[in-house]
Amino acid sequence: MKRFIPVAAPALVGNEKSYVMDCLDSTWISSAGKYVENFEQAFAAFCGVKYAMSCNNGTVALHLALLALGVGPDDEVMVPTLTFVATANAVTYCGAHPIFIDSEPETWNLNPDLLEEKITPRTKGIIVVHLYGHPVNMEPVLDIAQRHGLFVIEDAAEAHGAEYKGQRVGSLGDIATFSFYGNKIITTGEGGMVVTDDDKLANKVRQLKGQGMDPKRRYWFPIIGYNYRMTNIQAAIGLAQLEKADWHIYRRREVASWYYKRLKEVQGLTLPVEKEWAKNVYWMFSVVLDDGILLGRDEVMAALREQGIETRPFFYPMHTLPPYRNLAEKDYFSVAEGLAARGINLPTWAGLQERDVDFVCEALAGILVSAQRAVS
């Protein structure tokens, strides 16, 4: 049987089955039950914040955060153009407009130096995305936000446990969101979380995710809300995952160390960085092909696939997608476009073994060397 290494897979190595069976035995399988509350409390402690509100996915978490902050029609929210589409979509759900920001060449995150030139009277806030597990350089972002009266949302879907200057992501902005999709560092299958230290924002998120019901008057709905709740079964899986969070993060960083050791001398590749102020949790170990590589990115990925190695490309920049092209017709995003055209996510998950990484690296290096020899 041909060897196959997937780009991602969940690692269910703790109490997941035991907790789920407890839910089934107790019949508490919907959005009420002890695991929801326990998971929320544990995740708040994990992030170093006062409040965590579970919900049914990461996109919903972003929508709730924006609604709680009062974002509405024709407001503007600055977002990185190099991100998953959910970041921009959640802004659009509110009737607002995402304003796209180009990337930093090194971290691939939103470039704080480009924020102020995009601020207008309609700008309400900034969403930063800790892309592929490396935190954003938050200090200049927070400084700009404070001077201009803007909120800051951290989209930490890909960065559970990452740190900026020793402080965990999720505790740096006004409010933050996480995804627990099956390929994330911590998973509930599908699920999300909103975290904050702000009492009013926390109460607003809770009300919005529960159909808008008044917390002091059952079945009285003073506002229009949403059914955005997480189930007790999902929370049970999440709590078990969170109990092993240190292990999950350690394993991701160990996998990354194997990649660094084997790829650092391979010509034609730019490897991910870990800035001196950051702890990168490597949701994906990603590489960028240099301009001089004679094979295209998709050709390299296809060659890896032939050897049983699944990869995936970087996200399309938001400004290139049909729904958002008209919002950025006059802008130029050279860094993000270059990264998106040449970036590859290599297999990255906690269950990978060193021999798996050896196999991936040998295959990638061989493909690049063979391409150079064919031309010479």
Distance from C-alpha of 284 to C-alpha of 256, rounded to nearest angstrom: 9
CB 151 within 8 A of CB 198: no
Instruction: Name the nearest CA neighbour of 234 among 195, 184, 190.
Output: 190
Compute, in degrees rounded to 10, the torsion defined by CA atoms 132, 133, 134, 137.
100
Question: If you search the block for the tokens 């404070």, which residue do you land on?
Answer: 146
- Tokens 């709905």 belong to 221
Helix pair 16-26, 232-243: axis angle to 10 deg: 150
Structure tokens at 186: 């911590």
Q: Is 184 a catalytic residue?
A: yes
Q: What is the DSSP string of 120-181?
A: -TTEEEEEEE-GGGPPP-HHHHHHHHHHHT-EEEEE-TT-TT-EETTEETTSSSSEEEEE-B
Of these residues, 124, 184, 204, 244, which one is catalytic?
A: 184
Q: Please tell me whether residue 344 adopts helix, strand or coil conformation.
A: strand
Tell me the catalytic residues: 184
